[in-house]
Amino acid sequence: MNKNLLVLFLSLLITQFIIGQDIIPYPNDYEEKVGRVSVPKKITISSTSKFKNLIPVFVESSQKFNIEFKEKRRRGFIRLAHNNSIVNEEAYKLSISKSGILIEAGHSNGAFYGLQSALQLVLNSVKGGALGYSVINDAPRYGWRGVMVDESRHFIGKEEIIRLLDMMAYHKLNKFHWHLTDAQGWRIEIKKYPLLTTIGAKGNISDPNAEIKFYTQEEITEIIEYAGERFIEVIPEIDMPGHATAAVTAYPEFSGGGSERFPNFTFNPGKEGTYAFLTNILREVADLFPSEYLHLGGDEVHFGNQQWNDLPEIKSLMKREGLDDLVAVEHYFLNRMADSVKTLNKTVVGWDELVVAGLSPENTVVMWWRHDRGDYLEHALNGGYRTILCPRIPLYLDFVQHEDHSSGRKWGGAFAPIELVHEFPSLNLTSGVEYINPLVMGIQANVWTEVIDTSERFQFMVYPRLAAVAEAAWSNEDVKDFQNFDKRMDNMFEIYNKWGITFYDYRNHDNSKEILGPVPKGPIE
């Protein structure tokens, strides 16, 4: 072979290995070049004034990966530059040449994501000591790339949430949906109603007498600020009118009762005081969370609204408002609370039950979660609702990862292996409903904690599927390939081991011990 051709061939191989096998989520466009640059032992980073504020957070975060970057006034090995021609807020251009890594972006979000790609490249270059010349032009497939964590059923705690936010940032995930209230526990301090935590925060789904656990408003503000520095928006959820047991145990005057299976499950839509009580709560929540979104839940009300039939206030409400049945009462309640959210200058988010409640599409975002109800996704899109895809299969991370796992959920035998997570949303769940729709904002993984009670168990269920969620949300179909993803996971497994994260090794099932969770005393739907 001609010597020049051999050099070219080897250079291309090196470039493909370094770039193609290093970044998660996979870049949507990159061009290989000839040549490579050695990575210095002391890596410096510099920036134009527009992005200079990103450097301290980046340097601090990188130390968790056992790598240190030093800020330099000019001409660092990594350089951040403003580029007005890059319009997409989350887009960036990353160029590797003899002078190092140049990251260009039009906005801080994009520059931050470029830094995450650079961090991954540098981390993994330690093995070879060099980076192949290349140009990446990258932007996400979806604007909403989220993770939800339920802290009501079992309290996860600040340390694990911070670790999750670090990993979300590393993978360019940008929405953290915080499920803070449910039947089993109220986990957010509300100063106007202290009993919500002194009574409502006691217990969990495994042990109703477990010690009180919740987040103070100061702790919540700290976590919001930490997330914000990493371009992660934190969306709070205050569940209503069902899943209210913890709240109405603390303030029984607002209880709407329940059913034999789900006692004391709802708020009372027939009492005017209920609306004032909940609006006051939402006002404190809205003041705490800068997010434009406020999640009201709105799901599974029928599990525990049977006693509404016997409440005189609700009978009076139905007569006064011409409401024919309990579903109409539920919808009346949701519309009134949506009005309260609107007065707080927030956008309502709720589960897919909202699409039949008559809420305004202009001020409502729907989360489609029932994978077996494609008709609700169709209703949402046809009705003009902005929609987030988070179906149980494959995006509920409390579902088992392998058919042999005994601890976790299945749905009619179906579960959520990492391959299906990565394949989403091309995975056909709805036979005809089109996911490529301008109303589809993005995708989100949900981590419910009925079967997750410890940090070790939480990690085992979240990692490595979090990486697959990130790639499903960021990378276009034409660049997604599970075999390629699987190769890049070599580097993630090393990071998990260095961080002491307990993860499921899907490649080596027989030698990957299942971390067991609790057996819930109550039903899981």
Asked whether residue 81 carries a pLDDT value surpassing 80, the answer given is yes
Band of residue 128 on the pLDDT scale cut at 50, 70, 90: low
Segment 102-120 shows an average pLDDT of 98
Establish if 525 belongs to a structural domain: no
Q: Would you state the pLDDT for residue 127?
A: 62
The answer to whether position 354 is within a domain reads: yes
- Same domain, yes or no, for 274 and 131? no
Burial of 284: CB neighbours in 10 Å, binned 0-12, 13-18, 19+: middle
Same domain, 133 and 160: no
| Residues 24, 52 share a domain | yes
Same-domain check for residues 42 and 64: yes
First to last CA, the chain: 64
pLDDT, position 5: 47
The total number of structural domains in the chain stands at 2
Neighbours of 251 (CB within 10 A): 18
Which residue among 89, 105, 138 closes a domain? 138
249, amino acid identity: T
Q: Is residue 459 part of a domain?
A: yes
Final residue of a domain: which of 138, 155, 176?
A: 138
pLDDT digits (tens, 9 = 90+) for 320-342: 999 999 999 999 999 999 999 99
| 94 pLDDT higher than 50 | yes
Residue type present at position 375: D
Phi, psi angle pair for 456, to nearest 5° = -65, -45
Is 366 part of a structural domain of the chain?
Answer: yes
In a domain, 468, yes or no: no
Query: Region 152-170: what's the mean pLDDT?
Result: 98
Q: Is 474 contained in some domain?
A: no
Residue 398 structural domain: 146-463+482-511
* 330 & 414 share domain: yes
Q: Which of 98, 122, 138 is the last residue of a domain?
A: 138
**230 shares a domain with 120:** no
CATH of the domain at 223: 3.20.20.80
**Same domain assignment for residues 289 and 158:** yes
CATH code of the domain in which 50 resides: 3.30.379.10
Instruction: Give pLDDT, residue 124.
Output: 87
- Specify whether 241 is located in the same domain as 381: yes
> 16 and 41 share a domain?
yes
Are residue 97 and residue 21 in the same domain, yes or no? yes
Per-residue model confidence as pLDDT tens digits over 388-430 = 999 999 999 999 999 999 999 999 999 999 999 999 998 666 6
Q: Is 56 helix (H, G, I), strand (E, B) or coil?
A: helix
Residues 264 and 244 in one domain: yes
Whether 295 is in a domain gets the answer yes
What angle (nearest 5°) sits at the alpha carbon of residue 274, between those of residues 268 and 278?
Answer: 120
Pair 98, 243 in one domain: no
Asked if residue 517 is part of any domain, the answer here is: no
The predicted structure's pLDDT at residue 314: 97
Asked if 174 and 147 count as a contact pair (C-beta separation under 8 A), the reply is: no
Structure-block tokens of residue 96 = 């590797």
| Per-residue model confidence as pLDDT tens digits over 172-211 | 999 999 999 999 999 999 999 999 999 999 999 999 999 9
- Residue 182 · residue 153 · CB < 8 Å: yes
